[in-house]
């Protein structure tokens, strides 16, 4: 039985890319929340 390293490497790459995409999305969501908080703080300062 021949073991296909390329196939396993591709699967591992896809898993890494998937997790990276999830963490990037989480970071983007957190950045948006931080931006909203900063914007509301600026609005409160003006009032």
* Residue spans of the chain under pLDDT 70: 1
pLDDT the model gives residue 1: 65
Structure tokens at 40: 């509301």
Q: What is the Cα–Cα distance from 13 to 17, expressed in whole angstroms?
A: 6
Per DSSP, the three-state class of 20 is helix
pLDDT the model gives residue 40: 93
pLDDT the model gives residue 44: 85
pLDDT the model gives residue 37: 94
pLDDT the model gives residue 18: 96
DSSP state of 15: H
pLDDT the model gives residue 12: 97
Ranges of H-type helices in 1-47: 5-46
């Amino acid at each position: 039985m021949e073991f296909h390293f390329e196939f396993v490497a591709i699967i591992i790459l896809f898993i890494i890319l998937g997790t990276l995409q999830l963490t990037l999305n989480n970071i983007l969501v957190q950045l948006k929340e931080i931006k909203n908080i900063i914007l509301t703080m600026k609005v409160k300062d003006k009032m």
